[in-house]
Amino acid sequence: MTTPLNERRIANAIRVLAMDAVQKANSGHPGAPMGMADIADVVWREFLSHNPTNPNWANRDRFVLSNGHGSMLQYALLHLTGYDLSIEDLKAFRQLHSKTPGHPELGYAPGIETTTGPLGQGIANAVGFALAEKTLAAQFNKEDISVVDHFTYCFLGDGCLMEGVSHEACSLAGTLGLGKLVAYYDDNGISIDGEVEGWFSDDTEQRFLAYGWQVLKVDGHDADALRAATLEAKAETKKPTIIICKTIIGLGSPNKQGKEDCHGAPLGNDEIALTREALGWTEGPFEIPADVYAAWDAKAKGTEAEQAWNETFAAYAAKYPTEAAELKRRISGDLPADFAAAADAYIAKVNAKAETIATRKASQNAIQAFAPLLPEILGGSADLAGSNLTLWKGAEGVQDNAAGNYVHYGVREFGMTAIANGVALHGGFIPYVATFLMFMEYARNAVRMSALMKQRVIHVYTHDSIGLGEDGPTHQPIEQIASLRGTPNLNTWRPCDTVEAAISWKSALLRSEGPTALIFSRQNLPFQTRTAAQIENAAKGGYVLAEEKGELKAIIIATGSEVSLAMDAYAQLEGVRVVSMPCAEEFVKQDAAYREAVLPSNIRARVAVEAAHVDYWWKFVGLDGRVVGMTTYGESAPAKDLYQHFGITAEAVVAAVKEITA
C-alpha cells in the first residue's frame, strides 16, 4: 500500500469517532466505518462535490450509504467536512431526539440524502438518483450550457448484495446505462454471523459485468488505487461502475479487526485503548486535532463549486429563461399555479360524461389529462402497462430517449419502488409506479420507506380484489388494502368510479408531504350520480353519497367496486344512508363537525362492505356493527360467481342492515 502516513491519519479521524460514538452509546456498528475510512477519505475529500453550508444545493453530488448500519461513517464525514453536525451530536449517537439515529434518517441531520438501513434499498435509491439526474439533464441541458451535471456515489456491503432488491435495481441500472453512478463495494467478507463465504459465494465481478456495469477491483486501503479507480469510473459515461474494494473490517483494532466481533457491537474500552495506540492516535475520546479538521473542511471548496454553478445557471437563465424558470419550479416541488383549477375542470368533465368503465381505465384517462400539465411526471410499471393502463399518449420510454417520461421497469416490483423513492428524493420529478395490488407485497418495504421519508411517490395498484376473477387466489388481494391503510403517512384511495378516480389522482399529485396508493379495479364499475357539493366532499375521503329516506336508522360504508352493491342495497331499504369512503386517511383528517355530519355518533347501526379483509372496518362500524367482506383467500372463477360465493352481495348488505336494526 502506498497511502502516506499523514493521509492515513486523516482517515483515522473517522475510525476514532466511530468507535468512540458506538462505545458511548453502547450500541452500533464500528467495523464498517473503520474498514471504509480510507475509501471515504478519497471520495469525500477529493471527488464529492458538495457544500456543507448549503446541503440542498441543486447540483451537488449525491451520496448514499446503502450499508446504513455503518451510520457513524456518514455522521463522522458530515461533522468533519463542516456540516451543522457538532461533536455533541456525535456524542448523542443513537439517543432520543438526536440528529444521529442508529441508521441515517432523512431530515434528522443535514447532508443525509435518504434513509437507509433496510439493506439493498440504498443502492436502489442511488439508481433512482442517477436515473433522475440523467433524465433531468436530458430534458434541460443545452449543447452550450449544462445545468444538471452531477454524480451519485454509493457505499454498499455484502448484505446489500445478498438482498434481491440489489439485483433488480442494478440490473436495470446497467440496461439504462446510468454512467454517473459509482458504487463502492466494501468487500470485507464479514457479516454478523461471521465469514460470509459459507453463505455468500457469488462472483460479484461477473455478476455486475453481466448487468453491463464497468467493474474495477482495488485494495480498499490504498488511496492511490482508489483515486485511479474513481477517475476511471467517472470517465466511463455509458455504464455505471462498481469498485470492488477489498477491506479489513474494523481496521486498526488489534484483536477484533477482520472478525465479526467488531461488526455490530462496541469494541470495549480496553480494545479502544489498544486501537488508539495501534493507530498512533494520542487524543482522547471525541477529540480531533485542528490540522485534521483543516484537512477535512469542505466549506470553502463547496461554496466555490456552488458559486461556479450559480454563475452557469445565471447564464442559462439569461439565454433560456423559460427552461430556467421551469427547472426551478420543478426542483422546488411546486406544481404549476393553474394545476388545481385545471384538475377541477377535468373532474367536472368526467362527471358530465358519466361513464361506466373500470377504474383502471379511469386512472389512465386521468393520467392522460394530467401528464401534459405536469412535465415532472415520470411514470412506470413493472411490466404490466397493458393491464394496469399506465401508458398515455405522449409517454416516451427513457430507454429510447433519455429525456423521456416513462420507465419500463420490467418484472421488478421491489426495485421499481425503491428506485422511485430515489427519483423523488433527487427532486425535479413526481414518480408513479404500478403493478397489480397483489404484487405490492414484493415491494412492501419500499412502500413503507416512501411513507417513512414522506416522499411524493404515487403507487398505482390495479386488479384490486376477487373481482379480477379467474386468476385465482394467488392474484386476488385480500389483506393488502388493510396493510396499506395501516401504514403511517400513506394515503390509500380506492375509488368507486370515474369521478372518484380523477379526484384520487388530483389528491395524490397535490400531496407533497407523503406518498399515495391508488387502488383500481379490473372490472367495469357503475357511474354514481353526484351533486357539485358531493364532488367537493369526495376529496375529503368520505362523504354521503346517498341520503337516507326518512329517519336515519343505519349507515352503509363502502369503497371501490362495493359502492354499487351498497347503492343496490340502499334501493331496497328505508332510513339508510350510503357513505362512500375512498380514502379513510383523508376522512379522519377532517374536522370533528364534518366527520359527525357524515357518520353521526348516535347511529350505531353500521355496515361496511368491501371485497377485502374485514378487520380494518371495525374501527368505523364498532363492535355492534357488521362487515361484509373477506375472511379467507379467494378462488378461481368469474368475478360474478366469486362475489356470490363469498357472500359479498347487495342481498347480504340488506340482511346485515335488517339484522342490526331489528
Q: Is 347 annotated as a binding residue?
A: no
143 in active site: no
Question: For the packed helices 339-353 and 359-370, what is the interaxial angle rounded to 10 degrees?
Answer: 140
Task: From 101, 91, 92, 99, select the one nearest 284 (Cα to Cα).
Answer: 91
Q: Is 522 annotated as a binding residue?
A: yes
**What Cα–Cα distance (Å) separates residue 158 from each residue in 164, 289, 381, 619?**
12, 33, 29, 43
Q: Is 285 annotated as a binding residue?
A: no
The active-site residue out of 133, 260, 306, 413 is 413
Q: 371485497: which residue's cell? A: 611
Q: Is 35 annotated as a binding residue?
A: no
Q: HSE, CB side, 13 Å, CA atoms: give it for residue 15.
A: 31
Q: CA–CA separation, 617 vs 610, rounded Å?
A: 9
> From the DSSP assignment, how many helices (H) and strands (E) are in the chain?
27, 20
Burial (CB count <10 Å: 0-12, 13-18, 19+), residue 282:
exposed
Q: Is 439 annotated as a binding residue?
A: yes
Q: Is 119 annotated as a binding residue?
A: yes
Q: Is 226 annotated as a binding residue?
A: no
Q: CA–CA separation, 617 vs 606, rounded Å?
A: 10
Q: HSE, CB side, 13 Å, CA atoms: give it for residue 58.
A: 22
Q: Is 401 annotated as a binding residue?
A: no
Q: Is 190 annotated as a binding residue?
A: yes
Rounded to 5 degrees, φ, ψ at 620 are -100, -30
CA angle 106, 109, 113 (to 5 degrees): 40
At 505, the amino acid letter reads W
Q: The C-alpha cell of 44 is what?
A: 469525500
Q: Name the helix (H) or strand (E) containing 128.
A: helix 121-140
At 423, the amino acid letter reads V
Q: Is 159 annotated as a binding residue?
A: yes
**What Cα–Cα distance (Å) separates residue 502 from each residue in 363, 493, 512?**
7, 11, 18
Do strands 554-558 and 606-613 pair parallel, antiparallel, or not at all (unpaired)?
Answer: parallel
Q: Is 475 annotated as a binding residue?
A: yes
Q: Is 511 annotated as a binding residue?
A: no
Q: The C-alpha cell of 180 is what?
A: 454517473
Residue ranges of the binding site for substrate: 29, 263, 360, 387, 463, 471, 475, 522
Binding residues: 29, 69, 117-119, 158-159, 188, 190, 263, 360, 387, 439, 463, 471, 475, 522
Annotated binding-site members for Mg(2+): 158, 188, 190
Query: Which amino acids are annotated as binding site for thiamine diphosphate, given as ranges?
Result: 69, 117-119, 159, 188, 263, 439
Task: Name the residues annotated as catalytic.
Answer: 413
